[in-house]
């Protein structure tokens, strides 16, 4: 198996520019497929092509504008209704898509229950994209018959969807969702439009050529390593890639400034004049927050992700637009976050409490942002990006 495969992971809270990086890797040529390895329809990876075309990728891989196929692995939560809408915006490129039959299906009832739960939390919301990804994962952990992609081709589909509706309605009350028969029909249409493949199909793709693994969200939101409970129900590190591929390059993506959507710790948050073209206030995500580059949190992300072979530093145009922007190398009382035992949510919750009390310590403005970020995170910078168009992303000499 080739060692040229590349996995792209966001080292922050998401929104660092994974789509732009994946698109650039695909533009370099010889990419057999983009493999999505976590998350689902809540992903929002923006690509602005040289000719001005823009798409926010959710389930399709960010190489689609270049004609690179997408494979949704078993670790992706697949939403057929959201996928149909995304496909329509792209011109219905279903010929470029195949889906692992073992991947979980997100239904309208999962989505409605997700939103009902967030409403119930009131001012104590955890933050959500409102797409039902976490609800789908939670349901599957307690229901062995949770619907999966292969079920759209099975006579069992109506029964499994009805079971989801019954269980979530019993827990949350009446849910705003389409009639069962309409959902069954839509899911059947999804099954007719896409290529559903058996588990292990990614091995064939990797044997046929170089593959790019595209992650969703960011390491600081990881279900086991993020600041619990302000996290996602998804493994955002390289762990899922390692379960699929023996040898690959680990590429971490960071911005020159730190961002996050909605609630949760954000030590370096500041009132910086950095307007965002493709992010804003969302009903479920909450506000889009910005702050100084947080080297402490990003070093933690590198450590819990198992290290990176290289970095992609995006938004290098931001420091010129925002003279107040700085790099934070330490907090008021510490400069290192100790990773706790794996899957210890009590420990992660203690980290959350600590971070909610912390404030920035040392702040400085570098002469060379990419070089300093690479030095602080202990990895070479492979890619630098100054703007939204893929033609502005380059490999340093």
52 vs 60: CA distance, rounded Å: 19
Pick the catalytic residue: 10, 15, 79, 151?
A: 15
Does 217 show up as a binding residue in the annotation?
A: yes
344 is catalytic: no
Look at residues 3, 8, 2, 1 and name the one whose alpha carbon lies nearest to residue 26.
Answer: 8
Look at residues 306, 297, 302 and name the one whose alpha carbon lies nearest to residue 239.
Answer: 306
Does 42 show up as a binding residue in the annotation?
A: no
**Sheet with strand 6-10: strands edge to edge:** 195-197, 97-100, 70-72, 31-36, 210-214, 6-10, 249-255, 310-314, 381-385, 393-394
Pick the catalytic residue: 5, 45, 110, 228?
A: 45
Look at residues 141, 128, 327 and name the one whose alpha carbon lies nearest to residue 221.
Answer: 128
Element (H, E) at 98: strand 97-100
Does 316 show up as a binding residue in the annotation?
A: yes
- The angle at the Cα of 111, spanning 240 to 163, to the nearest 5 degrees, equals 90
Distance of CA 161 to the CA centre of its chain: 26
Name the DSSP letter for residue 11: S
Helix then strand then coil, in percent of the chain rounded to 5, is 35, 20, 45
- The angle at the Cα of 36, spanning 227 to 82, to the nearest 5 degrees, equals 90
Which three-class secondary structure state does DSSP give residue 282?
Answer: strand
Q: How many CB atoms lie within 10 A of CB 365?
A: 13
Does 315 show up as a binding residue in the annotation?
A: yes
Per DSSP (E only), the strands in 215-344 are 249-255, 258-261, 288-291, 293-294, 310-314, 327-328
Give the pairing type, strands 6-10 and 249-255. Answer: parallel
**Is residue 375 packed enough to be buried (19+ CB in 10 Å), middle (13-18) or exposed (0-12)?**
middle
* Terminal-to-terminal C-alpha distance of the chain: 28
95 is catalytic: no
Does 232 show up as a binding residue in the annotation?
A: yes
Look at residues 73, 63, 16 and name the one whose alpha carbon lies nearest to residue 39.
Answer: 73
- Binding-site members are 15, 217, 232, 315-317
Binding residues for Mg(2+): 15
**What are the binding residues for IMP?**
217, 232
The residues annotated with a catalytic role in the active site are 15, 45
């Amino acid at each position: 198996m080739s060692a040229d495969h590349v996995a792209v992971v966001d080292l922050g809270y998401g929104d660092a520019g994974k789509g732009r990086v994946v698109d650039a890797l695909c533009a370099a040529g010889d990419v057999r497929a983009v493999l999505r390895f976590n998350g689902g329809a809540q992903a929002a990876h923006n690509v602005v092509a040289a000719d001005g075309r823009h798409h926010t990728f959710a389930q399709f891989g960010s190489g689609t504008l270049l004609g690179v196929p997408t494979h949704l692995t078993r670790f992706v939560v697949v939403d057929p209704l959201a996928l149909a809408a995304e496909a329509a915006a792209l011109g219905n490129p279903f010929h470029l898509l195949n889906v692992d039959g073992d991947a979980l299906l997100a239904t309208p009832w999962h989505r409605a229950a997700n939103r009902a739960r967030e409403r119930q939390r009131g001012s104590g919301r955890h933050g959500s994209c409102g797409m039902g990804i976490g609800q789908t994962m939670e349901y599957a952990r307690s229901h062995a018959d949770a619907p999966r992609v292969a079920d759209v081709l099975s006579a069992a589909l109506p029964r499994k969807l009805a079971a989801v509706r019954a269980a979530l309605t019993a827990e949350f009350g009446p849910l705003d969702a389409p009639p069962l028969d309409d959902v069954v029909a839509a899911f059947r249409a999804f099954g007719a439009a896409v290529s559903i493949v058996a588990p292990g199909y990614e091995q064939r793709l990797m044997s046929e050529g170089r593959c790019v693994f595209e992650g969703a969200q960011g390491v600081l939101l990881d279900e086991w390593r993020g600041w619990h409970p302000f996290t996602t129900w998804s493994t955002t590190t390289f762990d899922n890639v390692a379960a699929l591929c023996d040898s690959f390059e680990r590429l971490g993506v960071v911005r020159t400034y730190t961002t996050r959507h909605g609630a949760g710790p954000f030590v370096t948050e500041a009132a910086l004049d950095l307007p965002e073209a493709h992010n804003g206030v969302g009903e479920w995500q909450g506000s889009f927050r910005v702050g100084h580059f947080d080297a402490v949190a990003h070093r933690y992300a590198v450590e819990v992700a198992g290290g990176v072979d290289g970095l992609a530093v995006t938004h290098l145009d931001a420091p010129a637009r925002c003279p107040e922007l700085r790099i934070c190398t330490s907090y008021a009382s510490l400069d290192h976050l100790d990773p706790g035992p794996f899957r210890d949510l009590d420990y992660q919750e203690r980290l959350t409490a600590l971070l909610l009390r912390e404030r920035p310590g040392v702040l400085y403005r570098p002469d060379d942002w990419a070089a300093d970020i690479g030095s602080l995170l202990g990895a070479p910078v492979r890619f630098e990006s100054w703007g939204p168009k893929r033609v502005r992303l380059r490999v340093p000499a």
